[in-house]
């Protein structure tokens, strides 16, 4: 299905300014909480932001939540899938206008660009490609130490879910 499913926002922290391409049925949502009981990463010098991208395979079947995904369990259960397995984890320090790309499962490439940041939030451009085809292109404002989720690209018997966290 090549239509946009929905853009789910859990708070006003996400301010999309460009549309999601619905080519792969991707859905985006924002999670604004920092991990409970854990301190945020140290402040990076200047305008740097550390991004972490998790690659999660969501399927239907026997209910399972990978222990490494406990922080996002409540939000992932809104996705109509009941089994979530962490496939990979990527991280990088971003500076404004210098995109970083990550190859994720299914031959997709996710590119994240820090546009700017202030004391409360970071503005990121998130793009996803498969070969020369753009699947997602959105700009979001993510609360400091918050997470934005891109979900929906088909993968095997389920979908990929990509929590993208901006820490500084």
Start-to-end C-alpha separation, the chain: 37
Q: How far is CA 92 from the centre of its chain?
A: 14
Length of the chain: 168
Name which residue leads in pLDDT, 19 or 158. 158
Lowest mean pLDDT among 4-18, 48-62, 114-128, 141-155: 4-18
Helix/strand/coil for 37:
coil
For 113, half-sphere exposure in the C-beta direction (CA atoms, 13 angstrom radius) is 10
- Identify the pLDDT of residue 45: 56
Q: Is 44 exposed, middle or buried (0-12, 13-18, 19+ CB in 10 A)?
A: middle
Q: Is 104 exposed, middle or buried (0-12, 13-18, 19+ CB in 10 A)?
A: buried
d(CA 105, CA 160): 8
Name which residue leads in pLDDT, 1 or 77. 77
62 has pLDDT over 60: yes
Structure confidence by residue, pLDDT tens digits, 63-108: 999 999 999 999 898 899 999 999 999 999 999 999 999 999 989 9
- Identify the pLDDT of residue 6: 29
Query: For the chain, how big is the Rg over CA atoms in Å?
Result: 15
Lowest mean pLDDT among 13-22, 44-53, 72-81, 121-130: 13-22
Which structure tokens are listed for 94? Answer: 């971003």
Structure confidence by residue, pLDDT tens digits, 102-154: 999 989 999 999 999 999 999 999 999 999 899 999 999 999 999 999 888 89
Q: What is the mean pLDDT of residues 1-6?
A: 28
Q: What is the mean pLDDT of residues 35-55?
A: 70
């Amino acid at each position: 299905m090549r239509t946009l499913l929905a853009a789910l926002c859990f708070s006003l922290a996400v301010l999309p300014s460009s549309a999601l391409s619905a080519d792969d049925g991707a859905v985006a949502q924002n999670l604004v909480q920092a991990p409970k009981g854990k301190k945020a990463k140290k402040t990076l010098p200047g305008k740097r932001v550390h991004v972490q991208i998790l690659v999660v395979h969501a399927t239907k079947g026997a209910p399972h939540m990978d222990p490494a995904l406990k922080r996002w369990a409540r939000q992932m259960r809104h996705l109509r899938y009941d089994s979530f397995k962490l496939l990979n984890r990527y991280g990088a320090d971003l500076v404004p206008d210098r995109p970083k790309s990550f190859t994720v499962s299914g031959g997709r490439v996710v590119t994240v660009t820090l546009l700017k940041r202030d004391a409360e939030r970071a503005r990121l451009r998130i793009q996803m490609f498969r070969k020369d085809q753009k699947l997602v292109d959105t700009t979001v404002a993510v609360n400091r130490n918050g997470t934005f989720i891109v979900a929906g690209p088909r993968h095997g018997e389920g979908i990929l879910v990509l929590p993208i966290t901006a820490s500084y």
